[in-house]
Structure 1
Amino acid sequence: MDTSEVAAILNMSTSWMYKEAAKLGLRGYKLGRGRNAKVLYKRSEIFRWLEQQRIH
């Protein structure tokens, strides 16, 4: 999933994803180099992270 898809699922902005996601444990995978590199996220990791954030 790309950054905009994950941001939509989390109801956050893409700029938030670039700045804060790694601090919270959402690990992205960078494809390419430089400014045009894409950051992708594994769908399973996103949903696992969401499950961990759930309040019991």
Structure 2
Amino acid sequence: MDVKETAAYLNVSVSWLYKNAVQSGLVIYRFGTGVNSKIRFNFSEVEAWVKQQRVMGG
């Protein structure tokens, strides 16, 4: 998934994703270097991350 698709799936802004993905535990795949590099996310890893973020009500 590209950054826009991932941000839409997570219901966060693209800028939030750029700033917080690594700190939040999301795995980033970077293709290329410098300004032209592309960032991708693996859908199954994003989905697993979402499941880990669930807060159980009590």
TM-score by length of 2: 0.91
Identity %: 46
1:49 correspondence with 2:49: yes
Runs of 4+ in 1 over 6 A off after TM superposition: none
Give, as a single letter, the amino acid of the residue that structure 2 aligns with 1:41. Answer: F
Match of 2:11 in 1: 11
For structure 2, list consecutive stretches of 5 or more residues without a partner in the other structure: none
Q: CA RMSD in A?
A: 0.7
Aligned counterparts of 1:38 and 1:13: Cα–Cα separation in 2: 17
TM-aligned CA deviation for residue 36 of structure 1: 1.0
Question: Which structure has the larger Rg?
Answer: 2
User: May I ask how many residue pairs the two structures share in their alignment?
Assistant: 56
